[in-house]
Amino acid sequence: MILRDKFFINGQWVAPSSKETIDVHNAGTGAVMGKVPAGIDKDVDAAVAAARAAFEGWSATPAADRAAYLQKISDGLKARAAELGSTIAQEVGMPIKLAGRIQAGLPIANFANYSKIASSFSFESKNGNSLVVREPVGVVGAITPWNYPLHQIALKVAPALAAGCTVVLKPSEVAPFNAFILAEVIEAAGLPKGVFNLVTGFGPAAGEALVKHPQVDMISFTGSTRAGKRISEVAAQTVKRVALELGGKSASVILEDADLAAAVKGTVTGCYLNSGQTCTALTRMLVPASKYDEAAKLAVEAAKGFTLGDPMSEATRLGPLSSQMQLERVRDYIKKGVAEGAELLTGGADQPDGLPGGYFVKPTIFGKVKNSMTIAQEEIFGPVLSIIAYQDEEEAVRIANDTPYGLAGAVWSTDDARAQKVARRIRAGQVDVNGGAFNMNAPFGGFKQSGHGREAGVYGLEEFLEYKSLQLKG
C-alpha cells in the first residue's frame, strides 16, 4: 500500500488543507494500491503563491543553469527507472516491458532533451531596429492525464522550466504516484523552492481552482475534449493562455497498392498500444472495398497475438484498462457497435476467460463499420478497432477527415510520394507514413477539436514563451 499524505509546495512537503483522500486502484487487480490527498482551493492557492514568488528569480536564472537542473532531473529519474516502470504499469495497466521503455523511458529522455534545447535556444534576435526577446509566460498550471502520466507531465514541466516558467502540477488522480516520485527527484536536484509544486485532487475541485486562479498565467492541459472545453470557458475569465491536447479518432488509410499485411499489422498495433488508451490510437482502419475480406482476416489474426494478462508479467502484450469507469465505458461502446449493426469479428464486451479481476477488455475488431456509427465517431479509449471500406482515394480522404477530431492518422502505400500526398490532405497534427517512427522533437498536437498548441521539441518550449519587442534608437 502506497500512502502519500503531503503535497510538495514551496520546496517542502506540506500537509493538505482537507483530510479527504483518493483511492488509487491497481489496474491489473482492481484492488486499492494506495491513497493520495484530495486537494482543494486552499492547497492550490498556496502552490500558486509559491510559484508566483519564485518566478522572478527563476525567470532571471541563466538558461544554462536551468538546463543543468533539467539534466539533474533526468538523471534522477533514470536512477529510479525500474520503480517508475513498475509503478505506472500498476497504475495504468501497460505491460511492464513496454512501461519501462515508454512510460519511464520517454520522460527521462524528454527532461534530458529539454536540457539540450534550453542550452542552445536563442531567446533573443534582432529585427531591424527591434530587439525581439522571448520571455517566459509566467506561472503555469499543468493538468495531466492518466494514460501516459509521467510522459505528459514531462512534456509540460520540462519545457516550462526550460523557458523560465514556474509550475503547479495537478496530475490525474487515477495515476498520481509517479508524480510524487518526480517531486522527490526534483527536491533532490535542488531546484529553487517554489519553482515546481505538486497538488493532487479531483478536477472539479483542484483542477478548476487552478484554471480560474488569477495568478496563473497559462494552463497546459491534456485530456478529454469535454474537459478541454470547460477549461477554455473558465480560463477565458482571466484571459490566460491555454494549450490543449485533447481527444482523437485517428484513421489509418491503407491505399490499394500498400503492403496489406504490413499495413494491417501496423494499424492493429497502433490501435492496441496501451490497451487503446492512447489519444493518437489508429482506431479506424480504412481499406479498399476490394480488399476488405483479406484485411479483416489479417486484422483478426493480428489481434490474436495480443495476449491479455497481468501487466507485471513479461509475457503480457495487452494489459487492462486503467479503471472501473473506463472498463464500463469501453464495454458500453462495444455493445453500441453491435446494436448499430457493425459486425463483431473478434473480442466483445464480456469478461475475458481466466481474468476475474482487473479492468480487462478483449482485443476487439468490428467489421462493416459505417463512418456515421458511434464507434467510428467517438473516442472509445480501449482496444477497439473499426474497419471501414471505401471505393476510391477521394472517399478515403473524405472519411478520414469526417470526424470532429484531428490529432493523428496514418497512410500506407508502396509509392512514398503518393502516400505523402494523401497525408497532406488529412486534417491532423501528425500523420505516420508507412509506419514512420515517433519523433520526440517533432511538434505534437491537433487540429479541430483535438486542441491547439504544440508539445515536444523546440515547439513545446515556444508554447511557454511570450514575445517582447524592444524598439531601439539607431
Residues annotated as part of the active site? 245, 279
Distances, alpha carbon 219 to alpha carbons 3, 208, 338, 446, in Å: 28, 11, 39, 17
Pinpoint the alpha helices (H) of 213-259: 225-236
Q: Helix (H) and strand (E) counts for the chain?
A: 16, 23
Do 428 and 326 contact (CB within 8 A), yes or no? no
Give the CB-side neighbour count of residue 175, counting CA atoms within 13 A.
28
Cα–Cα–Cα angle for 136, 112, 181, rounded to 5 degrees: 90
> In sequence order, what are the beta bridge partners of 288?
390
Phi-psi region of 30 (alpha: psi -120 to 50; beta: other; left: phi over 0): left
**Of residues 98, 103, 83, 218, the one with CA closest to residue 159:** 218
Give the end-to-end CA distance of the chain in Å, rounded to a whole number.
Answer: 67
Q: Is 392 exposed, middle or buried (0-12, 13-18, 19+ CB in 10 A)?
A: exposed
- Quote the radius of gyration of the chain (alpha carbons, Å): 23
Q: Nearest Cα to 283, choosing from 294, 299, 298, 297? A: 299
d(Cα 74, Cα 81) in Å, to the nearest integer?
Answer: 10
- Evaluated on CA atoms 389, 391, 392, 398, the torsion sign reads negative
